[in-house]
Amino acid sequence: MTDTYARTTTSTWRNWAGTVTARPARTESPASVDELADVLRRAGAEGLRVKPVGAGHSFTAAAATDGVLIRPDLLTGIRDIDRTAMTVTVEAGTPLKRLNTALAREGLSLTNMGDIMEQTIAGATSTGTHGTGRDSASIAAQIRALELVTADGTVLRCSAAENPEVFAAARIGIGALGVITAVTLAVEPIFLLTAREEPMSFDRVTADFDALVAENEHFEFYWFPHTGNCNTKRNNRSAGPAAPPGRVSSWIDDELLSNGVFQLACSLGRAVPATIPSIARLSSRALSARTYTDIPYKVFTSPRRVRFVEMEYAVPREQAVTVLRELKAMVERSPLKISFPVEVRTAPADDMALSTASGRDSAYIAVHLYKGTPHRSYFTAVERIMTAHAGRPHWGKVHTRDAAYLAEVYPRFGEFTALRDRLDPDRLFGNDYLRRVLGD
């Protein structure tokens, strides 16, 4: 007998944004694959559903359950580094922040990553977390193998060579196929990136968008609604030397302006919406151009202390500028007051069944509103534009799409749901969110 029962609790769970609350019958923190398998078998025998949860950075109810909530707090750490294969095998509950710093100490790095490091590795990959890249794709696309515990307690090891049909789906599986306990990621020797952050007009960015994407390894920008202003960021590999931003200037840009002052501006805008356009004009001019060179995770990621609610859609990359212009026109003709910038990134096509970039080069367009601000009108208007262009919603961000719509925009949707029927016929891992997006 294990001591799993000693790590069983009951408590209310909330996500990072405070938009989702769940009251599971109990919360379990298994410390091994065997303990997890035992938890799953007991839950199935009791008729309770099971959901694994990461750091709660999803804005949807993908992890919510009234059954057994699995916390991965004890399933953390690096299992193995293979310098011949250039891979790292890491426990599913390991926060990206710990993984990135541990890899850096070993002289290694992921090729690409998103802009925050708070998520667990399994939570980030299962929902399709991504950064921006001309040639390099999401974190899930860097997975070379994974370990999955299915509804009956079976442990599956999956890769392109072993259980390949599961591997094709489970890298981005939204928790529908089982509980991921470890992933093996491709890594490379640590390298330097030079970041160039520069203000640019909306008209120039959209006119030069294709060239900016083609000429840079990683290009992204933020457009400030109610203005014609953007802030662009170009990250490219560098031979060095390292030239990180100075401590004072970094604090001013990343903490004072991007978090402290922005927090105050958002609070004022929520209290007095009429001030938002003026605040947006000031905010869009506050960040000046800067260039710095550092190791990847220090360039790709930024602290995000201002809490918000987010919707993001992936559209075909060739339609990105059209969609952005429609979005800007919608904001300008509406009474909406939007305090948060719109974020735009790109990714190459990949081969994962439920990846938002599955089979097509994609542009990601993300809209945000400050936590506590009514978001339905804005998000509904944005979603109408995105779906008119066959947009695919991010699995961890606010959207209203259902299985009927998603089956139309994902060519391999039926492949995924058929695999789910095989691995979890009784829907041990089901919840209301999965019922909506995958059907029942």
Does pLDDT of 258 surpass 90? Answer: no
Give the model's pLDDT for residue 3. Answer: 43
Which distant-in-sequence residues (6+ apart) come within 8 Å of 336 by Cβ?
377, 378, 381
Does pLDDT of 7 surpass 60? Answer: yes
8 Å CB contact between 131 and 343: no
- How do residues 281-295 score in pLDDT, each as one tens digit? 777 676 778 999 999
Give the model's pLDDT for residue 375. Answer: 93
Give dist(CA 84, CA 89) in Å, integer: 13
Q: How far is CA 406 from CA 155, 323, 354, 390, in A?
A: 29, 19, 10, 9
Give the model's pLDDT for residue 288. Answer: 76
Give the gyration radius of the chain's Cα atoms: 21
Give the model's pLDDT for residue 302. Answer: 84
Q: Which regions of 12-113 does DSSP assign to beta strands (E)?
A: 13-14, 21-22, 26-28, 50-52, 68-70, 78-82, 87-91, 108-109
- How do residues 152-188 score in pLDDT, each as one tens digit? 999 999 999 999 999 999 999 999 999 999 999 999 9
Give the model's pLDDT for residue 10. Answer: 66
* Residue type, position 273, single letter: P
Task: Say how many residues make up the chain.
Answer: 440
Give the model's pLDDT for residue 275. Answer: 84
> 3-state DSSP call for residue 242?
coil
Cα 13 to chain centroid, rounded: 20
Tokens of 82: 């293979």
Question: What single DSSP character describes residue 165?
Answer: H
* Helices 320-333, 376-387: crossing angle, 10 deg rounding: 150
Give dist(CA 265, CA 262) in Å, integer: 5
Give the model's pLDDT for residue 5. Answer: 42
Residue entry with tokens 């209290």 = 271
Rounded mean pLDDT, 205-233:
97
Give the model's pLDDT for residue 398. Answer: 97
DSSP string, 189-237: E--EEEEEEEEEEHHHHHHTHHHHHHH-SEEEEEE-TTSSEEEEEEEEE
Q: Which comes out higher in pLDDT, residue 323 or 3?
A: 323
8 Å CB contact between 185 and 110: yes
Residue entry with tokens 């959207």 = 399
Is the backbone of residue 73 left (phi > 0), alpha (psi -120 to 50) or beta? alpha
Does pLDDT of 256 surpass 50? Answer: no
Does pLDDT of 199 surpass 80? Answer: yes
CA neighbor of 276 nearest in space, from 331, 205, 220, 198: 331
Tokens of 55: 């750091």
Rounded mean pLDDT, 411-419:
98
Give dist(CA 119, CA 121) in Å, integer: 6
CA neighbor of 111 nearest in space, from 340, 295, 383: 295
Least confident of 97-101, 249-253, 335-339: 249-253
Give the model's pLDDT for residue 4. Answer: 41
List b or e across 186-222, with b for residues whose CB sees 16 or more CB atoms inside 10 angstroms. ebeebebbbbbbeebebeebbeebeebbeebbbbbbb
CA neighbor of 296 nearest in space, from 187, 211, 213: 187
- How do residues 226-240 score in pLDDT, each as one tens digit? 999 999 999 999 999
The pLDDT > 70 percentage for the chain reads 93
8 Å CB contact between 413 and 395: no
pTM of the model: 0.93
Give the model's pLDDT for residue 279. Answer: 77
